[in-house]
Amino acid sequence: MKKINIGQSGLTASEISLGIMRMNALSNEEAKTVIETAIHEGIDYFDHADIYGKGESEQIFGQAFKELGISRDKVMLQTKTGIVPGVMFDFSKEHIIESVEASLKRLQTDYVDTLLLHRPDTLVEPEEVAAAFDELEKTGKVRYFGVSNQNPLQIELLKKYVQQPLIANQLQLSITHTPMIDAGFNVNMVNEASVFHDGGILEYSRIHDMTIQPWSPFQSGNEKKGLFFDHPDYPELNELVNEMAAEKSVAREAIAIAWLLRHPAHMQPIVGSMNPERIKAICQASEITLTREEWYKLYQSTGKTLP
């Protein structure tokens, strides 16, 4: 597995991360197999959130990891805070600290490598976030910090008060869900693709050395539900993905992830499979590099056009 730098943190991690959202559906033994498989394939970065499985996903991971006897310093753990499901977003100092302490207990660890603020909170008081980050850093409970689903001005607002570098931003991105890319192709135009949905977050991330962590890399997008694999709306894409996979002797999942890895922003896709064989297939992406022409062919096979 190839390694990348995560922001300006000095962390060097696997270019593919395993998301643990669905681990609450696994038994202890199944969870151990998933973790062992991921590590064997070179994944050393695991993405959590306090709300995944209502906390059960972190708990199952923590117990399974402990029983495996793997040294804590061999992996990096990331968790997220800020969502009170169905109620509100909460970036208050009290909520952030209580959430982290609960995650540490479930994960059975003294610290997490990275903490992300999970989606924006319009009622955020950045001074409270800064105070929470300072306390968590000072006590050694969190090493680095970042955000999720935030645009450049939301990040800049936080940076006005927060002393720690914000090293990562989780954003939805797949071959079929590409608003952050589409707008860049359609500058100075008035078509639908030219709409500036996110304030240039792709370019902003590259300028400020924030690692984009694409989530739902196999999903069709916000409007179309389900995976784009075998989706009736994407026959040309699926034909091309299958063709490339056969040519390169890898799984189709590897082609989809390789498309993200080919971008010079040095992204770190978050994959959420709890199937060991699929994890192995996904990790084949690190063994191949798409050409510029292949990248553009895949992009256009979804029905998008270049101006």
Positions marked active-site: 52
How many whole angstroms separate alpha carbon 126 and alpha carbon 139? 20
What letter represents residue 237's amino acid? L
Which residues, including other chains, have CB under 8 Å from residue 185's CB and lie 6 or more apart? Answer: 193, 306, 307
Q: Kindly state the tokens that stand for 162.
A: 């927060």
First-residue to last-residue Cα distance in the chain: 36
How many whole angstroms separate alpha carbon 162 and alpha carbon 105? 26
Specify the residue for token string 């510029």.
292
Q: Please tell me the total number of residues recorded for the chain in this structure.
A: 307
How many whole angstroms separate alpha carbon 155 and alpha carbon 149? 10
Cβ proximity of 65 and 108 under 8 Å = yes
Q: How far is CA 51 from CA 58, 81, 99, 119, in A?
A: 9, 8, 10, 12
Q: HSE on the CB side for 48, CA within 13 Å?
A: 29
Going along 76-137, which residue ranges are E strands? Answer: 76-81, 83-84, 88-89, 112-118
What letter represents residue 46's amino acid? F
- The dihedral region occupied by 130, where left means phi > 0, alpha psi between -120 and 50, and beta the remainder, is alpha
How many whole angstroms separate alpha carbon 303 and alpha carbon 42? 34
The DSSP symbol for 227 reads B
